[in-house]
Amino acid sequence: MAKRPNPNLAKIHRNYTVEEVANLFSIHKNTVRSWVKDGLATNDEKRPMLILGTNLRQYLQSKRTVKKRKCRPFEMYCVRCRSPQLPAANMVDYEPINGVTGRLIGLCPACNGIINKYFNVAQLAGIEGQLDISFPKALKHINESDKPLLNSDFT
C-alpha cells in the first residue's frame, strides 16, 4: 500500500542527498530520483545531487494538494471509488454522535459501498433540499419504559 510522505519531516534549513531523503521518508532511492525527474528542484547539476529542504517540502505539499478532491456539501467521499459521490437515490441516514455533530450514512451508487460524512446539526437544513435525510429513532431502553415488565427487578 502506498504511503504519503509527511512534508513536515524535511527541515527547511538543510540540504539533503538522494540517500538522505530516501532514509528520511523510508522510501527507495529511485523514488527520490523519479521525483527529481518529475520536477523536484535540485541545487545544481553537480554530484552529489543536493536537494534543499524548502524545495523538498514545497514539492511534497504540492503533490498532496493536487490529489485532494473537495466534496460539495451534499456529496460524500467514497474511499473505494476515490471520488466524491452523491448517495444512491439521494437517501441518507443521520446518526447523532453528540448534541452538535452527527454522521450521514449512505450508499455509493458506483460500488454499493457505505459512504460516510460527519456533519454539524446546524448545517443539515442547508442540504435537506438535495438529500432525503431520515432520522432513525432509537429504541427505548428497558429502564426508560413507562410500563416495566412484571417479572423485572425495577422499582
DSSP string, 33-55: HHHHHHT---S-SSSSP-EEHHH
Q: What is the pLDDT of residue 1?
A: 35
Query: Same domain for 127 and 87?
Result: yes
- Residue 106 has φ and ψ, to the nearest 5°, of -145, -175
Q: What is the pLDDT of residue 47?
A: 83
Handedness of CA 112, 118, 123, 125 (dihedral sign): positive
Q: Of the candidates 42, 67, 92, which is a domain's last residue? A: 67
- Report yes or no on 142 lying in a domain: no
Query: Same domain for 83 and 63?
Result: no
Question: In this structure, what CATH number is given to the domain that contains residue 35?
Answer: 1.10.10
Residues 142, 151: Cα–Cα separation, whole Å: 12
CB 10 within 8 A of CB 53: yes
- Report yes or no on 112 lying in a domain: yes
- Report yes or no on 153 lying in a domain: no
pLDDT tens digit at each of 155 positions of the chain = 357 889 999 999 999 999 999 999 999 999 999 999 999 999 887 888 999 999 999 999 998 887 777 778 788 888 888 788 888 888 888 888 887 888 888 889 988 888 888 888 888 878 877 888 877 776 556 566 666 566 666 55
| Residue range of the domain that includes 113 | 76-134
| Phi-psi region at 82: left, alpha or beta (left = phi > 0; alpha = psi -120 to 50) | left
Q: What is the pLDDT of residue 85?
A: 86
Task: Provide the number of structural domains found in the chain.
Answer: 2
Q: What is the pLDDT of residue 45?
A: 79
